[in-house]
């Protein structure tokens, strides 16, 4: 197994020439979720290419924000371009990017790229395709936890920058029972790194 060097964090730099993250995230989560595919996400320099996302709107019965603010979902009602991190099933962590008020994009899978050794150690597996193929897996691999809830995506430890355009696959969201038909799950078409195949 090749030793992949972890790149030192801090991404800034070219952000001046492209739209600011707050502007990019200030819109409809359903439009932003597919647009995030292909972007590079890192936490303390460890991460990869965003391969799968889901959108959750303010008025969406499946969204944590549907019943209004609570201590847990407070970040969803804060400013855009911040993280919303919640505990799933009392065990795992899930990472969202906050969009317009009460809406967010769930990051469901990454193509592992930087700090692969560190991710494998955290996940206790060497299977590349399954390192970040799920919202809980991805948070474990990147070391995301409650301490990242509400943190701004434009600053360390987060690194977030656009990538090349990708072909987008669409499907209903996974694991929900309310509003299950909404086609608001997006992935890089044909990617082996997504949590479940698109079809």
Partner DNA sequence: GTTGCGATTGCCT
Partner DNA sequence: GGCAATCGCAACT
Residues contributing to the site for DNA (CB under 7 A): 54, 56, 62-65, 67-68, 70-73, 76, 84, 86-92, 94, 96, 104, 106, 123, 125, 130, 134-138, 173-178, 195
* Residues in Cβ contact with 188 at an 8 Å cutoff, skipping those fewer than 6 apart: 37, 38, 49, 51, 52, 111, 166, 167, 168, 169, 194
Alpha-carbon distance of 143 to 155, in angstroms, equals 16
Rounded to a whole number of angstroms, the minimum distance from the CB of residue 64 to DNA is: 4
CB of 73 or CB of 191, closer to DNA = 73
For residue 2, the Cα-to-chain-centroid distance in whole angstroms is 26
Rounded to a whole number of angstroms, the minimum distance from the CB of residue 88 to DNA is: 4
Cβ atoms of 111 and 193 closer than 8 Å: yes
Rounded to a whole number of angstroms, the minimum distance from the CB of residue 74 to DNA is: 8
CB of 119 or CB of 160, closer to DNA = 119
DSSP states of 78-123: S-SSBEEEEEETTTEEEEEEE-STT-EEEEEEEEEEESHHHHHHHH
The candidate with the shortest Cα–Cα distance to 153, out of 94, 98, 93, 110, is 98
CB of 42 or CB of 96, closer to DNA = 96
The candidate with the shortest Cα–Cα distance to 188, out of 98, 95, 93, 108, is 108
CB of 11 or CB of 169, closer to DNA = 169
CB of 83 or CB of 166, closer to DNA = 83
CB of 125 or CB of 167, closer to DNA = 125
Rounded to a whole number of angstroms, the minimum distance from the CB of residue 59 to DNA is: 12
Rounded to a whole number of angstroms, the minimum distance from the CB of residue 181 to DNA is: 14
Alpha-carbon distance of 19 to 94, in angstroms, equals 26
Rounded to a whole number of angstroms, the minimum distance from the CB of residue 154 to DNA is: 20
């Amino acid at each position: 197994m090749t030793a992949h060097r972890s790149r030192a964090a801090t991404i800034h730099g070219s952000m001046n020439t492209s739209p600011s993250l707050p502007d990019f995230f200030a819109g409809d989560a359903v439009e932003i979720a597919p647009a995030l595919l292909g972007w590079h996400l890192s936490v303390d320099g460890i991460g990869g290419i965003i391969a799968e996302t889901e959108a959750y709107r303010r008025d969406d019965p499946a969204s944590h924000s549907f019943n209004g603010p609570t201590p847990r979902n407070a970040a969803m009602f804060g400013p855009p371009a911040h993280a919303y991190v919640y505990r799933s099933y009392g065990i795992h962590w899930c990472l969202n990017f906050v969009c317009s008020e009460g809406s967010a994009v769930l990051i469901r899978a990454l193509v592992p790229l930087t700090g692969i050794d560190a991710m494998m150690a955290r996940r206790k597996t060497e299977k590349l395709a399954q390192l970040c193929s799920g919202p809980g897996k991805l948070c474990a691999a990147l070391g995301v936890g409650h301490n990242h809830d509400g943190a701004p995506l434009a600053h360390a430890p987060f690194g977030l920058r656009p990538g090349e355009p990708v072909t987008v696959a669409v499907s209903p969201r996974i694991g929900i029972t309310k509003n299950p038909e909404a086609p608001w799950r997006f992935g890089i078409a044909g990617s082996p790194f997504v949590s479940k195949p698109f079809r």
